[in-house]
Chains A and B, each alone.
Chain A
Amino acid sequence: MDLLRVKIWRGGESGGFATYDVPRQGDQTVLDVVTYIQRQLEPSLAYRFACRVGMCGSCAMTVNGVARWTCRTHVAKVEIDGGLEIAPLRNLPVIKDLVADMREFFGKWKKARGHFVATATRRDEFARISPETPQRKAADAAIECIGCGVCYASCDTVSWNPEYLGPAALNRAWTLFNDVRDGARAERLQDVAGDAGCQGCHTHLSCGERCPKRLQPTAAIAGLKRATALAAMRGKL
Chain B
Amino acid sequence: MRNDLRSRNHRCFWAFLVHRVSGVALSVFLPLHFWVLGQALEGAGRLESFLRWTDHPLVKLSEIGLVLLLAAHLSGGLRLLLLEFRPWPAAPRWQQGALALTAGVSAAFGLLFALNVL
Is B8's beta carbon under 8 Å from chain A? yes
Q: For the complex, would chain B's binding face be called helix, strand, loop or mixed by DSSP majority?
A: helix
Question: Number of B residues whose C-beta is below 8 Å from A?
Answer: 24
Min C-beta distance of B92 to chain A, whole Å: 7
Contact with B along A53-94 (1 / 0, CB 8 A): 000000000101111000000000000000000011011001
Neighbouring A residues of B89 by C-beta, 8 Å: 137-138, 141, 219
Residues of B within 8 A of A153 (CB): 3
Interface residue? A184 (CB, 8 A):
no
B97 CB to closest chain A CB (Å) equals 14
Q: A209-B10, A209-B12, A216-B90 in contact; A154/B1 too (CB < 8 A)?
A: no
Q: How far is the CB of A30 from chain B (nearest CB, A)?
A: 15
Q: Does A22 contact B (CB under 8 A)?
A: no
Given known contacts A65-B7, A66-B7, A219-B88, A206 and B2 CB-to-CB distance under 8 angstroms = no
Q: Are A206 and B8 in contact, with the CB atoms below 8 A?
A: yes
Q: How far apart sit A203 and B53, CA to CA, in the bound complex (Å)? A: 41
**B3 adjacent to A205 (CB under 8 Å):** no
Q: Are B84 and A90 within 8 A (Cβ)?
A: no
> Nearest Cβ in chain B — how far from A48, in angstroms?
17
A206–B89 CA distance with the chains assembled, in angstroms: 17
- How many A residues are at the interface, by size bracket? 35 or more
Contact with B along A189-202 (1 / 0, CB 8 A): 00000000000001
Q: Does the CB pair A138–B6 fall under 8 Å?
A: no
Q: What A residues does B95 contact at CB under 8 A?
A: 205
Chain A residue numbers with a CB within 8 Å of B91 are 208, 214-216
On chain A, the residues within 8 Å of B4 by CB distance are 65
Q: Which of A118-157 contact B (CB under 8 A)?
A: 134, 137-138, 140-142, 153-154, 156
Mark A residues whose CB is within 8 Å of B: 13, 62, 64-67, 87-88, 90-91, 94, 134, 137-138, 140-142, 153-154, 156, 159, 202-206, 208-210, 214-216, 218-219, 222-223, 225-226
Q: What are 16 contact pairs spanning A and B, CB under 8 A?
A: A13-B1, A64-B6, A87-B1, A90-B7, A153-B3, A154-B7, A203-B83, A204-B8, A209-B10, A210-B7, A215-B90, A216-B90, A216-B92, A219-B87, A219-B88, A219-B89
Which 6 A-B pairs have CB atoms at the shortest separation, nearest pair first?
A65-B6, A205-B12, A141-B90, A214-B91, A209-B10, A219-B88
For the complex with contacts A65-B3, A210-B7, A226-B84, 7 further pairs of A-B residues with Cβ separation under 8 Å are A91-B1, A156-B3, A205-B10, A208-B91, A214-B90, A214-B91, A219-B87
